[in-house]
Chains A and B, each alone.
Chain A
Amino acid sequence: MVWPMTAVIQIEGLRKTFRTLRGGARVALNGFDMTVEAGQIHGFLGPNGSGKTTTLRTLLGLVRADDGRMSILGRTAPEALPEVAPQVGAIVESPQFFGNFSGRRTLRLLARAGGVPAERVEAVLTQVGLRDRGDERVKGYSLGMKQRLAVASALLKQPELLILDEPANGLDPAGIREMRDLMRQLSSAGITVLVSSHILAEIQLICDHVTIVSRGQRVATGPVAAVLSGFDKGEYRVRVGDLDRAADVLGTAGLPVTKNEDHLVVADVGDPAWITEQLGRRGMWVSELTPLTPDLESVFLQLTATTPDPGAPKQVDEAIQPGTIDLGVQS
């Protein structure tokens, strides 16, 4: 295998243990792998504390890895970061800006420090909707406005690769939609986007690929549709007058049936027409027949084993330890 890779981001076997002065150790990354190809909008998902931010920090040279190798835009990271930095826009976990400066001044200074033409400042301020508030002090910005400023700073360089760690954090519904449109727009302009988020419905809407991490290891990766289809058990929701009799009929035909209060869930269904036919032939008329395709949220909860359990709140490190159960990781 040739290294560095042609992929925009390639991470292999990344390990990082944080050690405290008192001798404590916290494993943040435990042999993590990730590939992001050019042009993707790649979602980066994982429970709290699973290592997303640590991965991005390490990739961007803020944290030193204990082991593993990384490349970014075809160059070895972190060694070649100074050369690729002009093409990478990044925000890592709600960046802090100097409160006494206005948003506009903050961006101007960054532009200056990075050799970006000053006209870009107005362009990005408009792009993130801060044009009219650009002269106010950052101190006085709301959470979402600070987040918008952060995104503006990442866009300033007209990057080829955009790395966004929880960009939707604190954004209002309109802001989230604008962010979504912005990412699509950037992607259609050929920019590769890596975005971490906990808003899974949002990720499912925007992203074409995902990587899911749990306890510092990858548990799934691939096109969103492929990851979801791995969890598609061919289930259908069936609503019909006589639930018991219908369950009997379908059960006898060999399909796993779960009876709920007002509907049945039938798995392993090849062709749904078969259900209508079987039931109709016996005088039972189907009033609803809906395919139960898994969404990203349910897949995420299953993959990371963080499905909430009423009455017993899940603790942050109770997510699945990959390798303990065969999850059938798709690659």
Chain B
Amino acid sequence: MNLALAELSRLVARRFVLLMTVLLVAAFGVTVATTVASSHRPTAAEVAEAEREVLFAQARIEQIREDCERQRVSPEFCEVYTEREPRIEDYLYGVFVFSQEITDLVYFMIAFLALFAFLVAASFVGAELTSGGMTNLLLWRPQRVTVLGTKLATVLAAVVALSAVASVLYIGAFYAIAEVGGVPGVLDGEFWRDLVLTVGRDLGMVAFAAAIGFGAATLGRHTAAALGLVATYAIVWEIGARIVFEVIEAATPDRYMLSSYIGAWMAGEVSFWDQYGDRQYELTWMHAAAVFAVALAAIVGGAFATFRHRDLA
């Protein structure tokens, strides 16, 4: 516990962490500001106009459904074929609609937080390995796994806690914008349940990014090793191998890409078409969890295994 507290003060005292936090706040600020600037509270006239358009759309959809059923296709097909019930928010222009836009905004925030977590975790261990700070600590506590483990646990807890707070503030800010200068939209139980699940999974994403950054920097004894790993993976696999798959006409190249699983994890479920466009398959967050577990075992497990026996300068 004392070790963890000591690590925590070391973490928050890092200039880099401070800089990253400032950037994070700035990015959020810009997002919030542009949303505020591009949204307004709908006037009574706009609402009336939108209501009229909803009625019009409902009539149009009803027409399509009737056409569909007349052609004697199954009613389920027609249900899917027709669009969902039109809502008044769909016809309010230049108005921020919380229920419709928050999910994408959360994805954006998480991408940022994951990047933040990755860099902070990688530099936290990388800088100490290169500066000899780790050696110092090990003279005090000659238990390598404990020392490294505490470091990892501290940085994970810190980035997840920060992300949780940031998520609440971020979502709260947009909710406030919607209340004051936009419309909240339909916020039923299902909406909130989905949002909470999304945020929960996204905190997992942040922890995953931090752990991979930490593990790669430990394996390579340097912060830059983590960046190198990501760059190499992206170029060799996500781009290079994708081209090869295309050339050899592999059926389901997306199945082999980490990016697909990241997408599946963030959204809960993503479907891909195979190469010939005639079969669809789904990747769910559970598939993603399995893939993440393998990546963590390889990189973080490998980092701990080598760190136990390595010669430290």
- Do A and B truly interact? yes
Q: Which residues of A contact B (CB under 8 A)?
A: 18, 57, 60-64, 78, 81-82, 85, 90-92, 95-98, 100-101, 105, 109-110, 112-115, 153
How big is chain B's contact interface, by range?
20 to 34
Decide if B71 is an interface residue (CB 8 Å cutoff): no
Quote the shortest CB–CB distance from A250 to chain B (angstroms): 57
9 pairs of A and B residues whose beta carbons are closest in the complex: A96-B132, A81-B142, A109-B6, A63-B311, A113-B6, A62-B312, A61-B142, A114-B140, A112-B2
6 other A-B residue contacts (CB within 8 Å) besides A64-B309, A96-B135, A112-B3: A63-B312, A85-B141, A98-B13, A100-B13, A112-B6, A113-B6
CA distance A271 to B135 in the complex (A): 55
CB-based contact B3/A18 at 8 Å? no
Q: A60-B139, A85-B140, A98-B13 are in contact. Are A113 and B133 (CB under 8 A)?
A: no
Residue in contact with B140 in the complex, picked from A18, A105, A113, CB distance below 8 Å: A113
Which DSSP category, helix, strand, loop or mixed, fits chain B's interface? helix
Q: In chain A, what residue has the closest Cβ to B13?
A: A100
Interface residues of B in 4-55 (CB under 8 A from A): 5-6, 9-10, 13-15
Decide if B131 is an interface residue (CB 8 Å cutoff): yes
Residue in contact with B142 in the complex, picked from A60, A63, A64, CB distance below 8 Å: A60
Q: In chain B, what residue has the closest Cβ to A16?
A: B311
CA distance A100 to B311 in the complex (A): 27
What are 17 A-B contacts defined by CB distance under 8 Å?
A: A18-B311, A57-B311, A62-B139, A63-B312, A82-B143, A85-B140, A96-B132, A96-B133, A98-B131, A98-B133, A100-B15, A109-B10, A112-B2, A113-B137, A114-B141, A115-B2, A153-B136
CB-based contact A95/B142 at 8 Å? no
Q: Note all chain A residues with C-beta closer than 8 A to B106.
A: none
Q: Note all chain B residues with C-beta closer than 8 A to A91.
A: 139
CA distance A253 to B68 in the complex (A): 133
CB-based contact A95/B309 at 8 Å? no
Q: Note all chain A residues with C-beta closer than 8 A to B88.
A: none
Quote the shortest CB–CB distance from B14 to chain A (angstroms): 7
CA distance A100 to B136 in the complex (A): 16
CB-based contact A90/B139 at 8 Å? yes
CB-based contact A62/B141 at 8 Å? no
Q: In chain A, what residue has the closest Cβ to B9?
A: A109
Quote the shortest CB–CB distance from A296 to chain B (angstroms): 29
CA distance A98 to B127 in the complex (A): 10
Quote the shortest CB–CB distance from A168 to chain B (angstroms): 19
Decide if B138 is an interface residue (CB 8 Å cutoff): yes
Q: Mark B114-146, 1 if CB is under 8 A from A, else 0.
A: 000000000000000001110111111111000
